[in-house]
Amino acid sequence: MDLCSAYPAARETFEEADDVLGFPLSRLCFAGPESDLTLTHNAQPAILIHSIAVLRCLADRVADAGWAAGHSLGEFTAYVAAGAIDFAAAVALVRRRGELMLQSGDARAGTMAAVLGLEDEAAERACRQAAAETGGDCVAANYNAPGQLVISGDTAAVDRALELAREAGARRAVRLNVSGAFHSPLMKPAETGLAGHLESVPFRDPAFPVVSNVTAEPVRDAGRARALLRQQLTAPVRWTAVVRSLIGQGARTFLELGPGNVLTGLLRRIDRGVEGRAIGSAAEVAAVSE
């Protein structure tokens, strides 16, 4: 990765994570194979590590950040950024989170799907009707942006909800390539398993508020942070509401740290009046630093 070649802080971040995990995840990140890296118990710590590596490279530039938030897994990064949890503890925690989510998916197969171009209420009705007709679970999982919703649950129920969404006028309604029904009742065993691990990790009050996926409200104390990170596994990610909450608190510049620029794209769909910037590569770090 060019980031590690250009910035010692990034390289040290990956090395620290390898020590915590007891195996060279960095090698998997840099050399693959991609099929192994994308397994959720590898992908989750990899994304966290990359995000914190970028954060450390930009330490001077983001020292005065007033708020933080993260989409699903990214909320752990937000709490590390706010000083609520140590990086090493977070790496081990999200690795275990990924393992538990994979186990839940293996125990009760499910899926997720994207519904585009439909009002949230109409998509929610499709989920409720599909669940009633099939006897399975189907719920809204990610409120990503206006007209962009992800649903999750038992495969038959999700497939029926997709049919209903298309009938209701969805522009697109397609299954996603995932290993489980995340942010749905099917993840209850993972939530139960993660609870004990969260209790064993020291948490501190965040140095600045972190807006929760579950409530879309600022979190300012350690106990609340721990409880909401547990609930997050089965609760929907209210990302549109999270972003609007931050804007309501005066946020006008959003930095997306880590791989990709998905959240920056969602930001444009939520509110074009604010600035978003994705930073993941050495060149992007250098541009911000200058």
pLDDT score for 63: 62
94, 216: one domain: yes
133, 276: one domain: no
**Catalytic residue among 41, 183, 184, 212, which?**
183
pLDDT score for 35: 84
Phi/psi of residue 74, nearest 5 degrees:
-60, -20
Q: What is the mean pLDDT, run by run of 10 residues, along the chain of 290 residues?
A: 87 94 89 86 94 91 82 97 96 96 93 97 98 98 97 98 97 93 97 94 96 97 96 97 96 93 96 94 86
24, 142: one domain: no
Tell me how far apart the alpha carbons of residues 57 and 61 are, in angstroms, rounded to a whole number.
9
Assigned token pair, 150: 């992800």
CATH number of the domain at 116, please: 3.30.70.250
DSSP lists the bridge partners of residue 143 as: 149
Assigned token pair, 55: 């954060």
Mapped onto helix, strand or coil, the DSSP state of residue 238 is coil
């930095």: which residue's tokens?
Answer: 255
* Domain end among 139, 164, 179: 179
- Given CA atoms 14, 239, 168, 185 in this order, what sign does their dihedral have? positive
151, 231: one domain: no
35, 49: one domain: yes
248, 190: one domain: yes
* Domain end among 145, 179, 213: 179
CATH number of the domain at 282, please: 3.40.366.10
269, 142: one domain: no
Q: What domain range includes position 146?
A: 110-179
156, 217: one domain: no
72 in active site: yes
**Which residues are within 8 A (CB) of 256 and not within 5 positions of it... i.e. 6 or more apart?**
263, 264, 276, 277, 278, 279
Mapped onto helix, strand or coil, the DSSP state of residue 20 is helix
183 in active site: yes
130, 273: one domain: no
Looking at the structure of the chain, the number of domains it has is: 2
Tell me how far apart the alpha carbons of residues 142 and 268 are, in angstroms, rounded to a whole number.
17
Burial call 163-197: b when 16+ CB within 10 Å, e when fewer: ebbbebebeebeeeebbbbbbbbbbebbbebbbeb
CB 117 within 8 A of CB 169: yes
* Domain end among 179, 209, 228: 179
90, 194: one domain: yes
Q: Pinpoint the alpha helices (H) of the chain.
A: 2-6, 8-21, 25-31, 34-37, 40-57, 74-81, 87-107, 120-134, 155-167, 188-200, 222-231, 239-248, 262-270, 282-289
CB 186 within 8 A of CB 158: no
217, 231: one domain: yes
Cis amide prior to 189 (ω within 30 degrees): no
262, 172: one domain: no
